[in-house]
Every structure is written in C-alpha cells, then in structure tokens.
Structure 1
C-alpha cells in the first residue's frame, strides 16, 4: 500500500484518510475512560521499566567507579583497576546497538508490547546474576570475564528497553501534551538512579569487611523483585494505537532495517548528535565524576558515600526539571528547550570540573546535582517526544533504538573509560574531562540547528521529519526561484 501525503495529513491509496486534526481529536480524548486507563497503564509500564533499567545501570556505574576495581580487578594497580572496572561498565554500551537493532526490528514488525516484555526479563535477569558472581580472589581471571559477559547481556536487553518506552509513550500521549506525557515515565529513570544512589550511600556506612564481603551483592539480587513487578504490568498492556493502525491496514514494515539505513539514516545521525551531551554528560557526572573525587586523582579525596549524595540530589531535582522541560517543549517547541540545556552544559563544563578538583564535599555534591538534575534533564525532557517524532511509523522503534544506542556507545560508553584514561595519563588534570564534556555539548548544540521542529507531528505518518523538512525546503527554494 502506497502512502501519499497531503498538506493536512496522510491519505492512503485504498481510501483511508487521516488528517492531523483527526489524529489530534482521537489521541486527545483523555476524558474517554478506556483511553485514560490505557494511558495510565502505559505510563506505569514505561516508568517501572525505566526505573529498573536505570537502577541497574546507575548501580553498576556506582559500583564500577568505586568498588568493582577491588572486587574483580584486584590484580591491577589501583588506578588501572578503576580504568578496567569502568571499561567493564562501557562494554555494556557496545552491546546496546546490537540489542537495539535486533529488538528494534522485532518492535516494528511484531509490536511494541511483547518486545518490552522480553527486554525487561533479559536485562533484569543479567543484573540479578551479577549479585551471584564470585570475585577475583575466588576464581581469578574468570571473575572479570563472567562480569563482562553478564554486562553484555544486560546491555543487549537494555538496547531496546528505553527506546521501546520512549516510542510507547509518544504513541499513547495526547498530541498537544505529548512532550509532558512522554517525559512522565522517565521520572522512573530518576527513581532508579535515586534508589541506586540511596542504596549505595547506606551500604557505604557498613564496615568494609561486610560491604566488600557479601553486602554488595544484595542490591543486584533484589532487582529480581522489580523484574516480576515489571513483567506483571507489561503483560496487561495493550498495543499502541499507531501500531494497531499499521496492522489494521496491513502496513507493518517487512524490512525495517533496510528502511532505516536508507530513508531513515539522516534522522538516526541527527538523533545521535542530539544524544551526545545528554547521555555523555549524565554518565560523566554519575561515574567519572565520582571516580575522580573519590580516587587518587585529587589531593583531598571525598568519601565515596558523601560523593554519591550528589547523584541522589540530582535525581530529586530531575523529577521536577524533566516534566517541566517536557511541558515547556509543548509550549515553545522541542528545539529551543533542547538547545538551552546543551548550551547550559557547555558553559557549565569548565567551572564544574574545576570545583570537583578542589575536593570540597559541599561543592562536589552541588556540582554533580546541578549537572544531572538541570543540565542533563533539560535536554532529556523534550527528547522523550522529539526522538519518536523524528521517525516515520513503519520504522520508528528501530530508528529511536539506533539513535539512542549508537550514541550511548559514543557518549556514555566512552565517558567512563576514556575519561579515566585521560585522568590517569595526566595525573588527574581536571581540564581534560572538562574539554571532553564541552565537546559533547558542542556537538549537541550544533545538532539542534539541523533538526526541524517536530512538536505536534502526526505519528501516523510514514515519512521521517528530517526528510520532509529537506523536501519542503527544496520546494520552497524552487518556488522562490520561479
């Protein structure tokens, strides 16, 4: 079936017509009890999954930055043990694009719901097994090998988890408030981060022999309870309205991979650029920043338990900033709000890392909290709706997954290991990670000038926003010339 676009919306060759106004009226029926119930269920399903994913990742990030070097890489000097531990954290990002490609394809062919059920089970199961691993002192080199394998499985499942939650909420949300509603489930990210930071801070109060002996395993093992809760909620979830429309009119993509690497590739590239500062900045503050202030890189190291309170406070601030920035993107547009967050991080990078280098506990907590809570989440708020709006309906899941996960490798995955390496070879010079963070912010700032405004875009359309914008620009130029 061929899709032909009109000025007011999309018309199918077999007579099915959907205008932007029709779509808006249908998706804005929040007073419809059935629609409202499905919207609440989708929000809960996405929130629990996001909470579990980021509890897993934040927990692993904290442990890799602060204690996994001693547990799994104890044969190395302390500085190299931190690098190796953060490298194991980065390995999970390598698997994420593969998971995004595999599960994203299934999500566009089979539907959003069942892929989200599988990914949460795979990701959570790998996290639980980390808590059962023997350490280097018990089995030697096999310990880091097994840790790396489980981290790969965790990343493979996570590769489509967040993309699925993003697409799910964007396709369920009312059009006029899509930015706000799409951002709500990502409060689960903050809850997961907050829970991980609180757990680590409380466990840091334990004697070292207890903490390093067996207590560190408990948070990983307890994630099994979250898995059961998430599976229960997602099994009761209905398929999204936009995918139902694809099935109804027999338009489900047979080769979404081919589509995404041809017509959808420009949107993937821009999506990667948009994510560099948000994703990279987040993991630099949560992992590299903690390793920097609590390790041997500065003259006055900060206690690891104190440093993690910055992550805790940052997550609390983000619970307000995230839905607020999503709401602002509904009023003023996605691009301007996103650009404001990227520019803020650009200006923040150098003073932030200088303050971290001073090793004052209050300054460390404040810098990490503002970096995570304000800079990162001012970008994440509009991103929740913007990424799905960039892609057409037939390959949206795969497109969002590829943009998110390739950027996760280039930004988040490298943030810890490359930053730790730069600090190790420069004797802890704060200027190098500051330059690194500012570079990520520059890339994202530039990307906001390449993307069209997507606010209110009809998600039933099959074409990508960037492709349409380019075509319309060429048409306008041709008209002006004539």
Structure 2
C-alpha cells in the first residue's frame, strides 16, 4: 500500500484504507437516498407546474392558479431550515447514519400520501390544506437529507478523490429528477381525463419502491470514519448549531450566499421554464418534459466529471466556471426558448444544466470541508437550507410574478438569473481552497 499522504495545511493526511464491499454500500446509501429526495421534490415541482393549479386551486383564474401552485412548491422550502436545525443538531450529536434513515422515511411517506390526496372538487379547501401540510413534511425531511448523504460519503475516506465521491449524491439527485420526469412523462401520455382523474397519482405512489430500496442500503451501513474518530476523542457540543455560528460565521455566510443562488437557478429552469413553455408559449408539455430529461441526463454525466476535476484543480475554479456560464447565458437562454424550435429549446436547457452541474459538484466537497466534524452537519445544513428557503424556493414564484407584471417580457427574469449567478460567484471569492483539508481534524 502506498505510504504517500496528502497535505492539509500543515498536516499530512494519509489515504484512508478502503474496504470494497463497505465502500460500495456507503456510496450506494448516499446516492439512493438522494434519488428518493430528488424524486419526491421533482414530482411535486412537475405537479405544481403542470397540474396542481387545476386540481387543488380551480376557483382561481389560470394565472392566479399557477401562482398558488408555485407558492405551494415554495412552502416546502420555508420549513427546510427547521429540518436543518433539528435534524442537523441530531446528526452532530447522535450520528449521521440514524438521520439518513429518518429523513428517508419522512420524505417517502409524505410523497406517497400526496398520491392519495382528494382534489378540490371532492374535498374543497381540505384538499389544498392537506397538500400544503404534506409539502411541509417533505421540506422538513429534506432539510437534512442531501447534506447527510454527502457527509456519509465524504467522511468515509481520505482527501484524494473526495471531490468525486462527494459529488455522487449530486448525481443521485439528478437521477431522481430524471426518474420523476420520466414517470410524469409516461403517465401524461394517458388520455387527458384519465391523467387528471387518477393517472397523475401513480408516480407519487411509486415512491414507496424507492424508499424501500433506500432503506435497504441505509440500514446496512455504520457510522462514518470521521464521526467515529471524533466521538472516540471528544464529546459532541450540546448545541452544535450555536457553536458553528459562534466559531465559523464566515464559513456559514460563504456557504449560504453561494448555495442559495445555485439552487434558485436550478429551480428556475426545472420548474418555471417548464411552466413558461407550456402555459405561456403554449408548447406541448411533452417538449418541456423532453427538454428536462435531456438536461438532467447532461447533469448526471457531468456532475461526477466536475467532481473529479475539482480534485485536480480545486473546488473554486470549477464553481467559478459553472456560475460564469450561467451569467453569460442568461439572456440567450430565453431568446432560444422563445424561438419554439425544439432543438434550440432542448440545447439551451442542456447547457444550463452543465453550468448547474459544475456548481453542484464543487459544492459537495467544498461545503463539507469548510466545517469541523463536531458541527459539520449543522453548519452545512443550516447554510444550505436557510438559503434555499429565502432564495431558491420562492424563485419560480418570483419569476412568474415578474412575468405577469412585465406583460410577458422575459428580460426581468434574465436579469434575475444574472444577479443570482453573480452573487454565487462573489460568495466563493471569500471561500478558501479546501481540496486538501482533512475531515478528521479541525478545519484550518
């Protein structure tokens, strides 16, 4: 075995030993759970963009119904910081592995229950009330799901290929989006009346399968290497989230202002642009779904490539490249979409997906490396989910409102994309390069 180490500031970090079978389970546990999270959230986003306005808010005008539906989508983000606060603290105090099981169950059960909901026609106001409640449950679980998945993988090995390994849950995220989009596309091929009556429920009910698969993997892994070493040498803080705010405020701020714009940019494309194509430009929903499928496949392929690149050149350069692409392409994006040419629409969304993929890949390892083990879960989750609630969740709703106020003009939304990309770019300027940091020792 090689005795070479990796330099982490003034510390040489020896490569961690690998056990092939255990590593396969660890990586699968991280990826599969994230597939479930993104499948659940993507399904809700697709339903909000294409269907929920008619099923749960039919008393409103078409434009107002879309706003109400997208507002319900945003509600799930508002409770995510609470999930990050509660579950992140528990993740630092009792371990990463138990939280991975809990978040998976919360999100999966909520999604299955959405598939069983009555509509406004049969239950009146109770229907949208239950929809909002289940969306809140989804959001609470999601407040710790993705971060926990990244930490399970990142904390179980050395620094040499951490960028690649930590990016794998990001790949799982896009796999879940792809599965949700494919499922929705298939059921949308049904006769319109059957699709609206019961066909839309099938993808939500199918979430029970992904939950069972995720549980199989997550119940088979133990605690992470970094957390085991920390607990052997120290006690967890009583309130990790307060400690990280006191000792690492700069890291929290960097991660917050970098993550929010990135996630907002993704949901602008995945939710708003889809609704814009179908409800404003009156293009077939199949085209919008096809464009999302192609863009998601591009992300699935490029996220691990960008993760591996971050191991070679650093986390910051990869992030800068992705955000710069989105800033430059903001105005051409809507120009290409408005041509209504299928090839141009699909190509535009695929290029945006590559930019988002670069940031997703760089984020995974970078944010984990910004915090010490004793409060890593809390710091990462709080920064990610508070920015998601404040910036990312409302983004499709704000874009739809801007479209209404501007009389259908898209330039205000393009400006919004430029501003978001620039904020994320600026935030990473204040981040250190972390690719050689040891996750089993205090951050430098």
Whether the TM-score (by the shorter chain) exceeds 0.5 is: yes
CA distance in 1, matches of 2:85, 2:23: 27
Residue 460 (1) aligns with residue 444 (2): no
Residue 175 (1) aligns with residue 163 (2): no
Q: CA deviation at 1:9?
A: 7.1
Q: Could you list the per-position Cα deviations for residues 280-313 of structure 1 after superposition, in whole angstroms to 9, with x for gaps in the alignment?
A: 11100000001111113x3xx2111211111111
CA distance in 2, matches of 1:400, 1:39: 23
Partner residue in 1 for 2:76 = 92
Q: Could you list the per-position Cα deviations for residues 98-138 of structure 1 after superposition, in whole angstroms to 9, with x for gaps in the alignment?
A: 00110000000000000111110011111110000000111
- Alignment equivalent of 1:222, drawn from 184, 195, 206: 206
Partner residue in 1 for 2:37 = 53
Q: CA deviation at 1:367?
A: 1.6
Partner residue in 2 for 1:472 = none
Partner residue in 1 for 2:309 = 328
Partner residue in 1 for 2:232 = 248
Partner residue in 2 for 1:355 = 336
CA distance in 2, matches of 1:319, 1:104: 27
Q: Determine which structure has greater relative contact order: mean sequence separation of CA pairs < 8 Å that are 6+ residues apart, divided by chain length.
A: 2
1:21-40 superposed matches below 5 A = 21=12, 23-25=13-15, 27=16, 29-30=17-18, 35-40=19-24
Structure 1 window deviating more from structure 2 (68-77 vs 353-362): it is: 353-362
Residue 164 (1) aligns with residue 144 (2): no
Q: Could you list the per-position Cα deviations for residues 43-97 of structure 1 after superposition, in whole angstroms to 9, with x for gaps in the alignment?
A: 1001111111111111111110111111111110001111110100000000111
8 Å CA contact 1:90, 1:413 repeated in 2: yes
Partner residue in 1 for 2:363 = 383
Residue 190 (1) aligns with residue 174 (2): yes
C-alpha RMSD of matched pairs (Å): 1.5
CA distance in 1, matches of 2:376, 2:277: 40
Residue 305 (1) aligns with residue 286 (2): yes
SS of match in other structure, 2:189: coil
Residue 146 (1) aligns with residue 127 (2): no
CA distance in 2, matches of 1:177, 1:129: 39
1:106-117 superposed matches below 5 A = 106-117=90-101
Q: Gapped runs of 5+ residues in structure 2?
A: 1-6
Partner residue in 2 for 1:414 = 394
1:274-289 superposed matches below 5 A = 274-289=258-273
Residue 337 (1) aligns with residue 312 (2): no
Q: CA deviation at 1:246?
A: 1.5
SS of match in other structure, 1:175: coil
- Alignment equivalent of 2:431, drawn from 432, 451, 454: 451
CA distance in 2, matches of 1:371, 1:411: 19
Moved over 3 A (4+): none
Partner residue in 1 for 2:407 = 427
Q: Structure 1 residues 422 and 9, CA, compared in 2 at 3 Å: closer, same or farther?
A: closer
CA distance in 2, matches of 1:217, 1:326: 35
CA distance in 2, matches of 1:98, 1:111: 18
8 Å CA contact 1:173, 1:182 repeated in 2: no
Partner residue in 2 for 1:436 = 416
Partner residue in 2 for 1:268 = 252
8 Å CA contact 1:277, 1:440 repeated in 2: yes
Partner residue in 2 for 1:129 = 113
Partner residue in 2 for 1:4 = none
SS of match in other structure, 1:253: coil
CA distance in 1, matches of 2:135, 2:11: 43
8 Å CA contact 1:302, 1:360 repeated in 2: no
Partner residue in 2 for 1:319 = 300
CA distance in 1, matches of 2:14, 2:300: 28
TM-score, normalised on structure 2?
Answer: 0.96
- Alignment equivalent of 1:259, drawn from 234, 240, 243: 243
TM-score, normalised on structure 1?
Answer: 0.88
Q: Gapped runs of 5+ residues in structure 1?
A: 1-7, 11-18, 469-482
CA distance in 1, matches of 2:96, 2:319: 26
Q: CA deviation at 1:264?
A: 2.2
CA distance in 2, matches of 1:9, 1:437: 36
Structure 1 window deviating more from structure 2 (382-391 vs 422-431): it is: 422-431
SS of match in other structure, 1:39: helix
8 Å CA contact 1:325, 1:381 repeated in 2: yes
8 Å CA contact 1:197, 1:308 repeated in 2: yes
Aligned length: 438
Q: Could you list the per-position Cα deviations for residues 388-439 of structure 1 after superposition, in whole angstroms to 9, with x for gaps in the alignment?
A: 0011111000111011111211332011111111112222211111111111
